[in-house]
Each structure stands twice: as C-alpha cells, then as structure tokens.
Amino acid sequence: MVPVWCAAAQAEPQDVSGAVPGVTPVVVAPAAASGQAGQTQHGGAHNPAHSGARGRAGQRVSGPAARRPVRAKPGPVVARQTTAVDVSARRHDFAYQDAQHIPDATTRITAERLTERGVVTLRGLERVAPNLTIQSINGTASTNFYLRGVGFNDFTQNNMAPVLTYVDDVAFPYSSMTSGMMFDLAGASVTPGPVGTEHGQSDTGGEVHLHTNDPTDTWHFGATQDIASYARSRSEAYVSGPLARGLSFRLAGQTQHGGGWQTNPLNGDHLGDADLWALRGKLRWKPDAHTTILLGGHFTQDNSEVVTAVPVHRLIGTQALPDMASWQQAEWSSRPQFAKLIGRKAGIKPSEHNQFWGADLHIDHDFGPLTLSAISAFETERQGEYTDQDGTALSQADTYRTIDANTFTQELRLHSSNTQDKLQWVVGAHYQRTRMDQRFFFDYTDYRPARGYMMSTTFGLNQESLSEFGHLSYRLPHGVMIWGGLLHERDERSITGLRSQIFGGATQNFHGESTTSDQFAGQVGVSWQMLRHALVYYKMSKGFKPGGFTANNTQIQAQLDPFKPETVLTYEAGFKADPIPDRLRINGAAFYNDFHNQQILGTVLIPNYGPLSEITNAPKSESWGFEGTIEAHPFSHLHLTQNLGWQRGNFQDFPTVNRAKTNAYYAQHGVWKAINDNFGGVDNGQPKLTLNGSAEWRQPLARAYTLEFGPDWQYRGSQAITPGGTGFYRLPPYFLLGAHVSFRSASGRWEATVYARNILNRRFAESGGQATTTYFYIPGEPRFIGGRISCAY
C-alpha cells in the first residue's frame, strides 16, 4: 500500500513512482537546488541531503502501476522541474500525493521514514510495509522474502527469488548482492503481486525497489553519526555538486561497527559485531537538453560477525541441548582442523567475509514523441560465510560456504513521452546472464556414529534469460482508465561440475542437469477516479518464475532433478481515498492467488543418511488476504500511521515426506523410513497478521526548532518453518515497541535524535531452520538505545 506517514507543513516529496495516465503530474524540484526553502517531511526546511535526488521522478512510464523509479528525462521534464517548484505554495501532510491517483498496491517509503525506523538493511523494510516478511538465512547476510505470503526458503541462493530486488532500476537476481547498499537513500518502494510487463523480469511475488540519491547541480554535503548499545556505531557521509557545465557527481559512503550482543556461556566470548564499509559514486552528464547519461558504481566489504542459532529441539543424538541463562546467550564452535581446511584462522566465529561491487550505466534520450532508456549493469559477489548451524559447542553441522558469482543485465525501453496523451505505452526487452560457483564445507566430526567426518559439495551454475514486454493504457471519459500488458520470458539454466567429497573417504561426481522455462505473463485492469480524492481499481495478473535446482549437500543424482516453473494467477481489487484531504487517508487492497507448481522447500529422505531439505513443487495451492494503510492527522501536531496485512493460504495438493513424522519414527526405531504424506488442506504456514505503525507528536519551538517524539510498533504472527509445522516447528508471534525523540533546526541543517528499539526487551525469533541434528531459531535483537546526530549543507 501507499505508505502512510504524515508530516506537518511539509513539501510533497518527489514521487518515485512516475506519472499516471489521465492525471497531470506534479513534479516538485528540490528546494535547495532551486534556491527555495521548502519544508521537509518533519515540518522543518528542506534538507539539502536529498536535493536533486528525485530528478528522475518526472519521467513518464506507461501503465498504471508505473512503480519503478526512472532516470530524469531531458527536455520537457527539465522544464517541469524548473517551472513547478512552488514548494511554499503547496504543502501536504501526507507524502506522495500523486501516487493516490495510481491504481496499484505499492508501498512508497520516504528516506526520512526509513531513517526514523532504523531501516539500514533489507530486513528492516518489514517494519514499514504491510504483508511483508524478510528473514535472514541462518542469521547470515542472505535473505528470504515473503510478500503476501509468497516466497520460499533457498539456502543455496542460486535460484530466482519470488520477490526481486532493484536498486536504481537495476535488477539484482540475488538479494545478497545488495548488502551494505542501504545508505544515502532517496526512498524505497514495495510492490506486491506479479510484475514484469513494464520493466525488468517477470516474478510471482513482487519486487522491492531502493532509490539512491542522484548528483545535484549545486554543492551539498552532509554526515550522520549513530551510536547505540553494545558499542554499535554507524557513520554516513556524502558530497554532491557540479564538476563542469552539464556534469555533476555524488560520492557517498558508510561504515558499521560493533553491536554484538550474543555471548558464549562456555568462555564469555561475544558475537555479532558489525565490520562493514561501503562506497557509492555517481557521475551524471547532460550533453544536451534531450540526453542524460548516468554512470554509477559501488563497493562493499563486509567482515561482520553474524547472529548464531539457538537450538530448540534435538532430532539426532542424546546430548542435552545447551541450557542458557539468558536468551542473549548462544554456543558456537570451530575446530582448528576445519578452520585449516577452509583456509581461515583458528577460532573463527560465525561471520561473513564478503565483497560486493558493481557498475551501471543509464542512458535516456528524448526523441520528442517517445523516449529511449537503456540500462546496463554488471554486479559481482565474493562471499565467504561461516555458520554454526547446530547451535552447540559440538561440530555436528558447522558450515562454511564460498560464492563466486557475477551477473550482467541489459534493458532497453521505448515509451511515450507526453503524459497528457490518452494513450500511454511502453515496450522493451531485458537480458540477464549469471555465472556462479559455490562450495559448501561441512564439519560433521561430532555427529557419530552416522558421519564423523568433514566433507564438501561443489557446483557451478550457468544461467541466461531474455524477456520481451509491452504495456498499454488508455484514458476514457469520466475518469475511467483501462490497461493491459504482456511479457514473454525464456530462461535457461544448468548446474555443472557437482562433486561431493568426504575428506578421508569417498568422492562422488554427478553429471550436470539443465532446465528451460519458456512462458508468458500478463496483466489487465480497469480503474475509476470516481471522485477527486477517491480511486478504485481491479486487475488480473499472471506471474511466472523459472525452475531451478537444489544443490546443497547432494548425496544422490536424483537430488539434482530440476524443480518446475511456478505460475500464479492473481486477482486484486483496491481503493485509494483521502476522505478528509491532509487529515485522513485510507488505502486498501484485497487479493487472491491461484498457484500452480508453487516452489517450496520440502523434504527428501536419503536412505541410511537422513532427511534433507529440497526445493520442490506443490502442484496446487492458494492464498488470499488484504492489506491496508490508515494515515491520520486528526489535529495539529499529532500524526498517526498504521499498516495492516492479513493473509491466509493452504496447499490444495502437496505430496511430500512428512519431516515431523519421519523424525519421530527414527527417534523410536533408530531407522530412517520416509513417512509420505499429502499436505492438501494444510495451512501454508505464513504469518496471518502483520502490523506496523507509529504515533508522532510534532511541536514547533520558537520558530527556529522542531521537537518530534512518539512510539512505533511491529507485530508478526506465528510462522511455520516447515510445511504443516506445529509446536517447535513454528516461530512464535511477537510484538516489538520502539520510540524516538528528535530535535532539529527549522532550516534542516542539523538534527539530533534519541531512540530505542525493542523497549520491552522482548525475546523473539527472527527466523528458524533445521540443521543435521537440531531445529534452531535465530534470535532477534534485544533492547537497543541509541543516539543519532546528522548535519547537511
């Protein structure tokens, strides 16, 4: 849903969503860049930190959703930016006014809201969007997305996710590649449901966009320092300005240190300290009034420790689970022999040793009746990741993974330029190529008598995809608009050179497998601007996601059989209304998903070895629900926001191994026997209810200052970590409470904030999973109290 937060006497932020057919776009140029002192989201003057950041917002993108940010168009767009800058004349208490005329369920989030809620990683987005769950995989930098309950758990991260991540219009096929990039942001957006008919690739769950600040035509610089509990420190800085006529740049960076809050009761050691630094640079050139060229590059080095697992149930063996005096305690181990095998120092803690870098080139040229956009990008990752997945001092499931991957993407789009035309259109193509090599090392030395060895699994992945898309919308009389889009995508991928080696034992070599997916996706819809401040819409969308492979801990050739593509037919109806403009906003959408061959992490039993996770297909499943946003400014100074998401779903046909019953049989008889079951009629296990919101009091002080304070909250319902899971197979629900107090100058030059997260110090599980011998939870952060100072000029 459209985000929902209020701001006293603020200037409307630039709409990252683009324009909508039939509605005249209102493009507000940055006040600092234009020499005018507009208001910020918080009621103070315009913050130069974000000046010029939304230069691309005015570009027209065909279709009603127009979700993605696009690069600034020259010519007419520049004219709009220089003529529609009367910020002081038009102020709004709610952000993204133009988006209220766009028939979509996209949540648009301002940079100020991201900062206020402490969103510095992808996982933090679940605090500010409805029906969204983002979880780390075993506490690592890798993430899994669940949007409207659509998602799947892919530890190997070599398959396409149901929810794609974009950074400045560049598709990131593997979300881990975005690590360390959430700084110097201009905003973010979350779009649920099938996508791909207007840009990028088809997907079944939706997409997340991060929008970073662009270069400015006037000089600006700023810095932020954030210090919190457990010696956590986050620092950011940027500088932006012109280099020559038509040429400008922006350079920004961040560092993160400390924050480790887990301790080992066996030796008093602590775990979880961040050690990350990142840089991003952009160079923008406007050789003429019709052309914009933007070259960007980024680099991240992440040597952070990770939160380790806490076991909740022992599946194999008789050793007692660790008895922790506090939920902030955990056990971990690393044997010197294993550290030597993986080439790391003795005593290695659960941690990352990752490097990410990439570059992208955006070219936009306005030909008059149409605009050409070209986006070229190359992204790479080098990961070394150690996790203690059994969560004990024993070496029963200690894991080290290396990933060497790169991806190249190329997108071309032609779209209509004049936003006043009744007919709007876009056509284009998107190409992606990925090369990946992974190696998993496992230390099972203390898992006796079943194993008692160290081993590795090695494989490569080659992937290519090409999609062609088109989208049309037409504005009819009386505020009615119809639209339709079509996408064709062909995806080819193969897994190569897979070898499973037991050190001091046997080595197995497996022959390669390949799979090709060739399908169509599309969308049709109708909307009605029934009143000036009320919009209703209905759409039907088909989404498509290619098949792939499960490659972790392979023991038999059958484990490499590819799983099938996933398709979904989604029905969605929604509304957007400002029944009392600048006082009350209510947006909502209801949906129904009809899945075929939904990809899900199931279970396979390897004889004389045990159950292993395997991505498989549920032939038939469904989900349904709704999400809503209420934004209220009932009287002066008080601003309320509430996001709500509710969803239900079940498998209608899902034959698989019942892991719980299979484990129970082994515990009783000491023999592995697959207990097959069909989970038809079983709940899909995703959280049924998610809530997040805030209440803020904004008080001007003596004209020169502003004081803002208030609580924020987040709730997530119970979630299964295995199909049909009950008891310890489910993550418990949780409720978290936070608060902040901010004091800032009316000029927007500086700001000081004191904040608290998880004030009640609630114990909760952020995610969970299963290792060889135990089921575990990944605990969430305890109470953090911190302060933040920022300045911008």
- The answer, yes or no, to whether residue 54 has pLDDT greater than 60, is no
Is 465 in contact with 489 (CB distance < 8 Å)? Answer: yes
Position 470 scores a pLDDT of: 97
Other Cβ atoms within 10 Å of 329 Cβ, number: 17
Position 660 scores a pLDDT of: 77
Structure tokens at 96: 């993204």
Per-residue pLDDT tens over the stretch 5-14: 333 333 334 4
Distance of alpha carbon 604 from its chain centroid, rounded?
A: 29
Element spanning 174, H or E: none
N residues, the chain: 793
CA distance 488 to 16: 26
Mean predicted confidence (pLDDT) in 400-404: 95
User: What b-and-e string marks burial along 414-452, b requiring 16 or more CB atoms within 10 Å of the CB?
Assistant: bbbbebeeeebbbbbebebebebebbbbbbbbbbeeebe
Q: Which of 401, 405, 268 is nearest to 331 (CA)?
A: 268
Strand locations in 137-174 (E): 143-147, 163-167, 170-172
Kindly tell me the burial class for residue 352, based on how many C-beta atoms sit within 10 Å of its own C-beta (0-12, 13-18, 19 or more).
Answer: buried
Structure tokens at 482: 């119809």
> CB-side exposure of 581: number of CA atoms within 13 Å?
11
Position 41 scores a pLDDT of: 33
- The answer, yes or no, to whether residue 30 has pLDDT greater than 80, is no
High-pLDDT (> 70) share of the chain, %: 88
Other Cβ atoms within 10 Å of 492 Cβ, number: 15
CA distance 178 to 402: 17
> CB-side exposure of 193: number of CA atoms within 13 Å?
30
DSSP string for residues in 706-768: EEEEEEEEEEE--EESSTT--GGGEEPPEEEEEEEEEEEETTSSEEEEEEEESTT----EEEE
User: What b-and-e string marks burial along 576-597, b requiring 16 or more CB atoms within 10 Å of the CB?
Assistant: bbbeeeeebbbbbbbbebbbeb
Position 75 scores a pLDDT of: 34
Per-residue pLDDT tens over the stretch 573-582: 999 999 999 9
Q: What are phi and psi of 256, to 5 degrees?
A: -135, 135
Q: Which of 413, 416, 425 is nearest to 368 (CA)?
A: 416
CA distance 522 to 539: 11
Q: Output the average pLDDT for the chain.
A: 86
Mean predicted confidence (pLDDT) in 51-78: 36
Position 560 scores a pLDDT of: 85
Sheet of 170-172: strand order equals 107-110, 185-192, 206-212, 163-167, 170-172
pLDDT-based confidence at residue 81 (cuts at 50, 70, 90): very low
Mean predicted confidence (pLDDT) in 727-755: 94
The fold of the 6-792 domain, in CATH, is Maltoporin; Chain A (2.40.170)
pTM score above 0.85: yes
CA distance 223 to 745: 15
Mean predicted confidence (pLDDT) in 643-661: 90
Structure tokens at 663: 């484990």
Q: Which of 405, 469, 476, 470 is nearest to 436 (CA)?
A: 405
pLDDT-based confidence at residue 22 (cuts at 50, 70, 90): very low
- The answer, yes or no, to whether residue 59 has pLDDT greater than 90, is no
Residue 746 amino acid letter:
A
Position 5 scores a pLDDT of: 34
- Which neighbouring-strand residues pair with 351? 305, 386
Structure tokens at 103: 């028939």
Instruction: For Cα atoms 149, 154, 158, give the angle at the middle one, nearest 5 degrees.
Output: 130
- The answer, yes or no, to whether residue 156 has pLDDT greater than 90, is no
User: Could you give the C-alpha distances from 11 to 45, 77, 94, 308, in angstroms and in order?
Assistant: 9, 20, 9, 44
Position 561 scores a pLDDT of: 87
- The answer, yes or no, to whether residue 718 has pLDDT greater than 80, is yes
Is 570 in contact with 202 (CB distance < 8 Å)? Answer: no
Q: Which of 208, 303, 189, 301 is nearest to 253 (CA)?
A: 301
Position 9 scores a pLDDT of: 32
CA distance 47 to 115: 13
| Residue pointed to by tokens 């000036």 | 532
Mean predicted confidence (pLDDT) in 32-60: 34
CA distance 583 to 35: 29
Per-residue pLDDT tens over the stretch 519-539: 999 999 999 999 999 999 999
CA distance 548 to 306: 28
pLDDT-based confidence at residue 230 (cuts at 50, 70, 90): very high
User: Could you give the C-alpha distances from 283 to 175, 210, 214, 412, 509, in angstroms and in order?
Assistant: 25, 18, 9, 21, 48
User: What residues contact residue 437 under an 8 Å CB cut-off, 6+ apart?
Assistant: 403, 404, 405, 458, 459, 460, 461
Is 779 in contact with 764 (CB distance < 8 Å)? Answer: yes
Q: Which of 358, 357, 339 is nearest to 349 (CA)?
A: 339
Number of helical (H) and strand (E) elements in the chain, helices listed first: 5, 42
Q: What is the SS3 assignment for 541? A: strand
Position 670 scores a pLDDT of: 82
- Which neighbouring-strand residues pair with 739? 711, 756
| Residue pointed to by tokens 């806490």 | 310
Q: Which of 477, 371, 464, 465 is nearest to 422 (CA)?
A: 477
Position 92 scores a pLDDT of: 55
Of 76-80, 470-474, 523-527, 773-777, the least confident: 76-80
If one compares 252 and 418, the residue with the highest pLDDT of the two is 252
Kindly tell me the burial class for residue 532, based on how many C-beta atoms sit within 10 Å of its own C-beta (0-12, 13-18, 19 or more).
Answer: exposed
If one compares 82 and 718, the residue with the highest pLDDT of the two is 718
Per-residue pLDDT tens over the stretch 541-584: 999 999 999 887 777 787 888 999 999 999 999 999 999 999 99
Is 96 in contact with 15 (CB distance < 8 Å)? Answer: yes
